[in-house]
């Protein structure tokens, strides 16, 4: 397929800058009325796609099964479409505070440093992106705190914006990482940061931009669909007998890079580290062998499971990297249902979703989402794709 087939107009006001929330007006000690925001992860809108019948549902139904116009499905309603024994797969990657702000030696120029991954723990080497890159050369030193103790030296150029930094901080590794991360902020996507009034992530984002199952540190962007999952949902799953397990794929920035070729077969995705353990394989394969539904929560889970699935349709252990780029047409080997957020025009994540749900059905869902005011992006609304 062609890049231009995934182009659509997204109104600016439908780009979600914060997670789904409710607001309460309260009077503070000064007698001023202020608005208090409360995050409600699982109350974001949900659209349901049925890929065999080629139908789309947006509204809850009354006792007679008639859609209630204006009462949109919420994310937590997804569980109503599954039964005992069905199994969900989540991504347990953990986002670290990757965006730092420092100053360049001598000039005091303000520099943004985005940590990508640690290259060598003993030598304190990190692969990073810098902005503005034209000011940062090999040999420059960057300072990240007022005391001057957290200092990094540029030792290599990797790409036009990429650099290798060596942090000059002599202490045990865990203490170093704790001090480094204390200086950082949640690595919200640039399209969110640039649209916010303060142009920074806040303390609440450190919690909001993290899934509740995050345990394996290494991501620089969150597995967005998993952000909607609440502890209450997990409890409901337990009560209904719906199982879940986790895989790990450390989400990078590749999905946010613009695709620059019209022929999608010529696009190359960045590699991301991933791991599928024996426990996940046992849980998923048992459910599949017993004829239950397997639901992949998020495009990162689909990418990981399609990397690790065997020719027999069973999930295999895997510990390595993946650069899989999924777009229509594609034959999926494991999950028969999927949850995904609504993404930007010409996004690789939209293409992966369209490959799973079918191009025509998913693009129609996007048209309806724009028309009905759904929100898009990492903090936006989501869809459930069922094989019925």
Supply the CATH number for residue 91's domain.
Answer: 3.40.1780.10
Q: Which of 184, 217, 247 is the last residue of a domain?
A: 184
**Please, which residues have CB within 8 angstroms of residue 301's CB and are 6 or more apart in sequence?**
89, 90, 91, 223, 247, 249, 335
Number of domains in the chain: 2
| One domain for residues 236 and 126 | no
Three-state DSSP at 347 gives coil
191 within a domain of the structure (yes/no): no
Give the CA distances from residue 4 to residues 211, 260, 347, 363, in Å, rounded to whole numbers and listed in that order.
Answer: 32, 11, 11, 13
Question: Is residue 197, in this structure, part of any structural domain at all?
Answer: no
Q: Are residues 282 and 370 in the same domain?
A: yes
155: part of which helix (H) or strand (E)? strand 151-157
Assigned domain for 189 exists: no
In 3D space, the residue among 278, 99, 263 whose CA is nearest the CA of residue 190 turns out to be 99
- Assess whether 82 and 105 both reside in one domain: no
Residues 215 and 341 in one domain: yes
> Is residue 201 in a domain?
no
Identify whether residues 255 and 160 lie together within a single domain: no
pLDDT mean for each 10 residues of the chain (388 residues): 96 94 75 76 96 96 90 97 98 97 89 95 94 91 82 92 91 91 94 90 91 96 96 96 98 92 95 97 98 98 98 97 97 97 97 98 98 96 97
Of 127, 150, 184, the residue that ends a domain is: 184
Residue 120 lies in a domain: yes
Note down the domain range covering 12.
3-95+207-386
User: Are 87 and 140 found together in one domain?
Assistant: no
Please give the pLDDT value at position 28. Answer: 76
* 12 shares its domain with 64: yes
pLDDT of residue 147: 67
Phi, psi of 62 (to 5 degrees): -80, -175
115 and 91 within one domain? no
Q: Are residues 238 and 377 in the same domain?
A: yes
| Same-domain check for residues 141 and 230 | no
Residue 193 lies in a domain: no
Residues 79 and 119 in one domain: no
Matching residue, tokens 């639901």: 295
Task: Tell me, yes or no, whether 152 lies in a domain.
Answer: yes
Question: What CATH number does the domain containing 170 carry?
Answer: 2.40.10.240
Same domain, 107 and 80: no
| Rounded Cα gap, residues 154 and 166, in angstroms | 7
Burial class (CB in 10 A: 0-12, 13-18, 19+), 265: exposed
Give domain status of residue 60, yes or no: yes
Measured between its terminal Cα atoms, the distance across the chain in Å is: 25
Alpha-carbon gap, residue 53 to 84, rounded angstroms = 23
As beta bridge partners, residue 59 has 72
- Following CA atoms 234, 236, 240, 243 in sequence, which dihedral angle do they give, to the nearest 10 degrees? 0
What's residue 36's pLDDT?
Answer: 72
Pairing status of strand 337-341 against strand 294-297: parallel
């Amino acid at each position: 397929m062609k890049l231009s087939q995934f182009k659509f107009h997204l109104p600016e006001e439908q780009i979600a800058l914060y997670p789904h929330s409710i607001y309460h007006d309260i009077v503070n000690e000064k007698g001023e009325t202020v608005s208090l925001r409360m995050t409600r992860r699982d109350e974001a809108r949900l659209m349901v796609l049925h890929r065999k019948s080629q139908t789309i549902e947006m509204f809850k139904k009354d006792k007679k099964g008639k859609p209630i116009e204006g009462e949109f499905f919420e994310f937590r309603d997804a569980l109503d479409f599954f039964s005992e024994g069905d199994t969900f797969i989540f991504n347990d990657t953990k986002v670290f505070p990757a965006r730092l702000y420092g100053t360049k030696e001598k000039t005091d120029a303000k520099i943004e440093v985005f940590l990508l991954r640690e290259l060598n723990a003993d030598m304190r080497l990190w692969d990073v992106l810098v902005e503005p890159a034209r000011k940062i050369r090999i040999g420059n030193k960057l300072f990240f705190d007022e005391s001057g103790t957290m200092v990094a030296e540029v030792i290599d150029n990797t790409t036009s914006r990429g650099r290798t930094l060596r942090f000059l901080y002599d202490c045990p590794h865990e203490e170093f990482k704790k001090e480094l991360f204390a200086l950082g902020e949640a690595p919200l996507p640039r399209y969110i940061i640039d649209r916010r009034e303060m142009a920074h992530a806040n303390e609440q984002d450190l919690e909001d931009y993290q899934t509740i199952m995050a345990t394996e540190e290494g991501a620089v962007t969150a597995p967005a669909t998993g952000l909607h999952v609440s502890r209450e949902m997990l409890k409901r799953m337990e009560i209904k007998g719906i199982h879940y397990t986790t895989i790990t794929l450390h989400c990078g920035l590749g999905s946010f890079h613009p695709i620059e070729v019209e022929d999608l077969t010529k696009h190359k995705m960045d590699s991301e580290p991933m791991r599928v353990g024996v426990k996940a394989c046992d849980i998923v394969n048992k459910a599949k062998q017993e004829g239950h539904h397997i639901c992949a929560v998020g495009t990162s889970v689909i990418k990981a499971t399609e990397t690790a699935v065997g020719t027999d349709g069973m999930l295999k252990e895997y510990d390595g990297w993946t650069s899989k780029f999924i777009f229509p047409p594609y034959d999926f080997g494991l999950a028969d249902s999927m949850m995904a957020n609504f993404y930007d025009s010409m996004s690789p994540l939209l293409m992966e979703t369209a490959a799973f749900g079918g191009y025509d059905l998913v693009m129609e869902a996007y048209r309806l989402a724009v028309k009905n005011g759904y929100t898009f992006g990492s903090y936006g609304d989501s869809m459930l794709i069922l094989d019925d």
